Amino acid sequence: MLKGVCLAGVNDISSPKSGILNHEMDLPKATQRCPKNTTQIVMSHNPASIKEFLVDHPQELSRIHLILSGHTHAGQFYVVIPVVYWMLPYFYGLYEIPFGGQLMVTAGSLYQGPPMKMIGMSEVWILDLVGE
C-alpha cells in the first residue's frame, strides 16, 4: 500500500517457460492482499497478459484500475512498427480494458538487441499518486 493505493506485480507471461517451480503469472496471488475498495495498480511487463487475465481471472481484473506494461519498445525501429503493431494486441499508449480499467504501455528508456531506438521514443513515466 502506498498513499491508499495497492501496488502489485505479476511474473512475466513467459515465466512458466523458465523451468523454475511455481514461477508463473498469478494475478489472484499478486492482488490477494489488496483491500477490496482501494485503487489497484498492477505491473505486468508484457501487455499481452491482459488477454490471459480476461480468460483466466476476470473477477480480479474487474478490481484493477490501472495496469502498467512495457515489453513492446513501441516497435523500436521504424521499419518493424507495422509488423509489431499488427502482431501485438496492445502496442503503445493508453488503452481502455474491459471492466473499466486502463492499460498504459510504455516504449521504455532503453532498447533490446541492436543499440538503437527511434528518435523521441525513449521515455520514463512519472506517476504522481495522490492519497485521499
> Nearest CA to 9 among 52, 57, 58, 64?
64
Residue 86: half-sphere exposure toward Cβ, Cα within 13 Å: 5
The domains of the chain are located at 5-105
Q: Per residue of the chain (132 residues), give pLDDT as tens.
A: 988 899 999 988 777 777 887 878 888 999 999 998 888 999 998 888 888 888 888 888 888 889 998 766 665 555 566 666 666 677 778 889 887 889 898 876 666 666 655 566 677 778 887 755
Its pTM stands at 0.76
**Whole-angstrom distance, CA of residue 112 vs CA of residue 84:** 14
